[in-house]
Chain A
C-alpha cells in the first residue's frame, strides 16, 4: 500500500463547501461591521448604520442582476464561441451527454472556440440554462478520458450553482467597496467628521472610536474582501475538481488533462481580465507563473496532487516530476 492516504471525493466536496460558506460568512460580517461602524460613527445611531448597509447591498444587487440574466450571451460572444451540435461535433456531444446522464441534468448548449490553446469554460445560472465552451486546441490535445474529466469539471461548476455563488460573493464585495468609497468621499470632501452630535446621548467618546474604526475598515475592508473573493474562487475550483471525480469516478483523466493544459505555453487570444476566472485553467496567469493570494485559480500542482490523493498515488513535487515518471 502506498504511503499516500487515499481520500474520498465526498470528504473533499464537504470540505470545500464548508470553506466557501465560512468565507461568505466572513465577508458578510465585514460588511455588517463596516455598515454599523459608519452609521454609528457618523450619527451615533445604529439604525443609520443598518440602513446604509442595506442600501449598499440593494444597489449592488440591482447592478448585478443584469449580469445574472444576460451574462451568458455576453461572455460567449466576447469569447467568439460558436454553437455546435451532433453533426458538427459528434464525439464532444457524446461526452457531454454521458456526463449529463451521470449528473442527472439536462444537456447544456455546447460551443466551440477556434483557438489552438487548450481551455474550457462553463456559464449558466442553473443547470437548465447552462452553456459549455471548449477550444479546438483542447479537443485536439486531449483523449476521450481526459476530455471527460474537463467536461465534468465544467458541468460541476453549473451543477454546484457556482455562477450564482460567485455572483453572491461579488454582490457582497461590491457592497463593501461601494459603502467604503461613499463613506471616504463623504468624510474627506464633506468635512463632516465630528460635526454631528450624537442624538441618543452619551455617544461622544465611543462614537469617535467607532468612527476611527470605520475609517480603518473603509480602507482595509475592500482589499480584504477582494482577497476573500479570490479565496472563494479557488475553493470553488477545488470543489469543481472533486465534483468532476464524483461524476466520472476517474481522477486520472482530469489529472492528465490539467497537466496537459498547464504544459501548453500558448496564450488564449480571446481571454481577458473579465473572463479569466471562468476558465478551467487561468488563461492569463498560467504563463506568468505567479501563484499567490491574488490568483483566481489554485496552483495546478496542488490540484493535481489533490486528484492523486483520490486515487491513492503519492503527491508530486513539481510538474516536471510528472513527465519524468513517464505518465505523459
Chain B
C-alpha cells in the first residue's frame, strides 16, 4: 500500500514538473513572437523611409503651390528616422506624424490630374499604399501576439508560473489621436471605376493603426469583445 502511494506521488510530481516546463516554454515562445512582430514593423517602417524621397522628387515639379505639404512630409520623415533610434514611444509618435503628413500629400495629389496620369507617380503611390497597409497589418499582428501573451500570463494555470519567473505584461501599440484624423478627400470617386487605381487614403490603413481592441483583460477563455467604437469606413456621401 505504501508503494502505491509512493508511485502516485512520484507520478504527480512528474506531471507537475513536465507541465511546468511546457507552460514555461510556451510563455517564452509567445514573448519571442512579440519581439519578432516588433522587428517586422521596423522593417516596414524603414521601407517607407526609403520610398518617400523618390515620391517627393517625382511630384515636386508639378505641385508648385503645395510646397508646404512636401516640406512637411520631408521633415516628418527626417524626424521619424532620428526617432527610430530613440525607442518605441518616440518612434511611434514620429511614425504616426509621418503617416498623417503622407495622407495629406495623397489627398492633394488627387487634385492634380497630370500627376494622376503620371505612371511613375502612380507606381510610387501604390508602393506607399501597400507599405502603409503592411505597417498597419504588422502592427495589428503585433497587437495579436501581445494579446496572446498577456492572456497566457494571466490565465490559469500559466499565471502560477508567469509571476514568479518574471513574465510581465506587454503594451499594445496604440495609434495617436492625430493619426485618427483623416484629411477631407473627394469621396465621389470612391467605388465604381476605381479598379486599377490604388485608393490613396486607404481607410483600412487608418483603422488598422488602432489596436483591435484596447481589450479589457477578459476572463479566461472568453473572447475579448470588439469595441463598437471602431468607426465604419462607409462614405456617407
Contact = CB atoms under 8 A, between A and B. Distances in A.
Interface string A139-156: 111111100100000000
User: Interface residues of B: mostly helix, strand, loop or mixed?
Assistant: loop
B137 A253 contact: no
Contacts of B184: none
Nearest to A93: B130
A250 B203 contact: yes
A102 B223 contact: no
A91 B198 contact: yes
A248 B136 CA distance: 10
Interface of A: 6, 8-11, 14, 90-91, 94-95, 97-99, 101-102, 104, 139-145, 148, 247-253, 256, 311-313, 326-328
A98 B226 contact: no
A142 B237 CA distance: 19
Contact-size category for B: 35 or more
B233 interface: yes
B133 interface: yes
27 contacts: A8-B226, A90-B126, A91-B126, A91-B130, A91-B196, A91-B198, A94-B126, A97-B134, A98-B137, A101-B40, A101-B138, A104-B141, A139-B195, A139-B196, A141-B195, A143-B197, A144-B129, A145-B204, A249-B140, A250-B207, A252-B232, A253-B204, A256-B191, A311-B232, A312-B228, A326-B237, A328-B192
B225 interface: yes
Contact of A10 (B194, B195, B224, B228): B224
Interface of B: 40, 123, 126, 129-130, 133-134, 137-138, 140-141, 144, 190-192, 194-199, 202-204, 207-208, 212, 223-226, 228, 230, 232-234, 237
Given A249-B208, A250-B207, A327-B234, A101 B137 contact: yes
Contacts of B237: 326
Given A90-B126, A145-B204, A250-B207, A102 B194 contact: no
Contacts of B204: 145, 148, 248-250, 253
Contacts of A251: 232
A34 to B, nearest CB: 36
Nearest to A11: B223
Nearest to A245: B226
Contact of B140 (A6, A91, A102, A143): A102
Given A144-B202, A148-B204, A253-B204, A313 B195 contact: no
**Interface core residue of A9, A91, A99, A140 (most chain B CB under 10 Å):** A91
A143 B199 contact: yes
A188 to B, nearest CB: 52
Contact of B207 (A11, A94, A141, A249): A249
B109 to A, nearest CB: 16
Given A91-B130, A91-B196, A326-B237, 9 more contacts: A6-B228, A8-B226, A91-B126, A101-B137, A104-B141, A139-B196, A145-B202, A249-B230, A250-B207
Contact of B234 (A104, A248, A311): A311
